[in-house]
Amino acid sequence: MREDTKDYQQTEHEGSQLAGETLMNRRKLLGGVGAMGAAAAGAWLLGSLGGKLPEASASEGYAECCKMVTIAQLRALTSPEIDRIYFVKDRDQEGSYYYDSSDTTSADNTGIIIVSTSGARFRRIFEGPAHVKWFGAKGDGTTDDTAAVQLAIHSYPHIYFSPSSYKITDYVFLQDNSRIEGTRASKIFMTSNPDGVNLISAKDKVNVTIDNLWIEGVYGVGNPFPVRGVMEGQGVTLAVYGCRNVLITNCYFTYNGLGSGNIYVSKCKDVVVTNNYLEKSMNGICFDNWYGEDNTPGGTHVENVTVANNVLSDMGGRAIACDLDENAARNSNIAIIGNTVRGAAYAAIAVNARGVSVVGNMIDGKRDGGITTVGGQQSLPTYYGFLSNFDCEHIHIADNVFKDIFMNGVNILNGSNVSIVNNSFSFAVNYLNQNNNQVLELNEPNNRMIALEWNTNAYIAPYTIKIEGNTIVNDRNPTGEQPVAELIYLKDTSNSAAIAADSFLHVTNNQLRSKKISTAIQFIKSLYQDMGTGKMYITGNTIYSPVKSGTAISAMRLDELHVEGNKINGIAIAIETGMGGLTNFSGNVIRNYNSAYFFYVANLTNEIDQLIVQDTIIGNPAQGSFVFTGTVNNPYIVTSSNGAGMKFIGVNANQIKGTYYPENLVVEGSDSPPTAGRWAVGDRVKIKNVTAGGYSGYICTTLGTPGTWKQYGAILA
């Protein structure tokens, strides 16, 4: 701030009363602002004009009411004047004060209340936040500002950090109704933290806001910046325990290794974490239920949380996590919306709660979309895109992008009422080995993009699971013969037929592509379960692989299995099933396959209640294979309702190996009738190479193996 100038000379008496000028009372001062305007006068009183009195065209002299002083001089006053304004000129603590004769108890806090040796209380005149430097913080990056920052927060609810570097060496605790804010150049940091204390904490408070600050923890020795990946450190940069109504916004967090997170929230309610940037840490934004008793303001668990529009980069563990204490009340109402995660070694998002919405997030398994990936746990890309490994209910995962994932896109263990809709998934195909700085291909087997497992005896049954409209791409091309991916994997490990019967599963309108594949869509049960419980619909999916590997759809042991309207291209086995109730394959189009259908049954008619096959098969199966194959005792499929509307295009009839009735099975593109298999009356073979004077096809006139076939449809010469 500027020193007083010749225009505003004041008589200063160190350690004594200031007197000798004609005074103007405060009411007269504010009422006589004249041409200067109220805004300019207010700016002067707040000290924002650098301590220089404003120029004014009014006739009255505003300088006559004000005395320039230091804080030391103000504290030394013995006889303050009621109508005098005292302007403190200490650097970074400038501002106007008045003597409050009615106050005899307030403590001196340097920033907004100064107490003289005579017991007089002087109050700062200001609006808006109080500046942390008013309370003695230096912000020079060297001085320990812990005590000054804590004093400011205790003294006034709304504190502003000007652009500077504030060194902290111990806990700083927020109060009820605390709001601390600054700019992205307002840095609060630690240089060492041997005891692992939290930099900023709030415990059992209400109405807490942290806005627009740079909050920096400690990175560990032996891993100095700028080594690629996570900077190891200690402590938690921001910890909020048992609070209610919390807003954390527009902040920059970095360097945190061994603590629970840059932002750690426990047993809090009504929390919003939005528009923050977090990087180079072990964990990013974490919620759990470990702190305090059940009567904390936040209650028994984390509730009503929104994590929106944050960017998290280079996390050695988890980027966004909402954990569950299995013995505590469950977290509830968690919304994770519009965040960007670039590189989290373990999981981008990990949530265990009731009522979870994960919508519109961008998950990039590799930092900044390039080869460079996080350190910490490993130098590989993100292991889990979304993880729930305890007990979730009502999970909605929609419109997210999971890009360059190492092993698992979405993995949910014991979740109920789950919808996974309109997401995009892709596996990472390479990574940077930090030991030798080489880019290596990823050839890991047994990856799963969407994996759900549940035990309905121990947890609430998954009454509805919907996996719809997702795009899954796997461009890995592993060496050897190992399968590379189970793209959608559903497993019921319960043994309760009554509970499992309530399950209603939909896998609909997904686009699945993989260079190599184990199973594109798989549903399995434990060996001890009832053979036919639950309903499943696998409809409208497109499944493609260029190398005829693996199985497109595998499901069995259900009351009803509907596989309808799928397009399957380039898979070794298109549809695989076994014991169950109604099994309906309708409207599917299968091409470039080894076997269209594979049955895990010893006796089809006894172990599948009703089989309906009404699909279109295009092209011959691979050499030595048949359209229908499996573990049945004979190579023929015998059933009571099979084949109405079934169509074969370009398939050798002798490779179909089936018995079909009712009639009207059609085989297109064969020049001779079948010589094997059991056929029904009315089944037809349409000749591929028709000629003038010949016939259009063959029709079965007597049921048998292969039955009696007659030419039909004479063509004029």
Identify whether the C-beta of residue 640 lies closer than 8 Å to the C-beta of residue 604.
Answer: no
User: Phi, psi at residue 576, to the nearest 5°?
Assistant: -125, 130
Strand 415-421 and strand 424-427: the pairing is unpaired
Sign of CA dihedral 342, 408, 329, 462: positive
User: What integer pLDDT is reported at residue 640 of this predicted model?
Assistant: 44
Task: State the average pLDDT over residues 605-614.
Answer: 81
* Between residues 458 and 82, the one the model is more confident about: 82
User: What integer pLDDT is reported at residue 228 of this predicted model?
Assistant: 32
User: What integer pLDDT is reported at residue 225 of this predicted model?
Assistant: 29
Residue 525's nearest CA partner among 489, 549, 576 is 489
What band does 1 get if pLDDT is binned at 50, 70 and 90?
very low
Task: State the average pLDDT over residues 170-174.
Answer: 92
253-267, 413-427, 439-453, 514-528: range with lowest mean pLDDT: 253-267
Peptide bond into 129 cis (omega under 30): no
* Between residues 286 and 335, the one the model is more confident about: 335
What is the rounded distance in angstroms from the CA atom of residue 45 to the CA atom of residue 43? 5
CATH of 129-308, picked from 2.160.20.10, 1.10.1240.10, 3.40.50.2300, 2.40.50.430, is 2.160.20.10
What band does 374 get if pLDDT is binned at 50, 70 and 90?
very low
H helices of 102-253, in order, are 146-155
Q: Measuring CA to CA, how many Å separate 148 from each of 47, 95, 109, 196, 353?
A: 20, 18, 9, 21, 40
What band does 278 get if pLDDT is binned at 50, 70 and 90?
very high
Q: CATH 2.160.20.10 in the chain: give the residue spans.
A: 129-308
The answer on pLDDT for 249 being more than 80 is: yes
pTM: 0.84
The answer on pLDDT for 245 being more than 50 is: yes
Task: State the average pLDDT over residues 418-446.
Answer: 82
What band does 40 get if pLDDT is binned at 50, 70 and 90?
very low
User: What integer pLDDT is reported at residue 59 of this predicted model?
Assistant: 36
Percentage of residues of the chain with pLDDT beyond 90: 44
The answer on pLDDT for 121 being more than 60 is: yes
What is the rounded distance in angstroms from the CA atom of residue 379 to the CA atom of residue 434? 6
Tokens read off for 102: 């009615």
User: What integer pLDDT is reported at residue 104 of this predicted model?
Assistant: 94
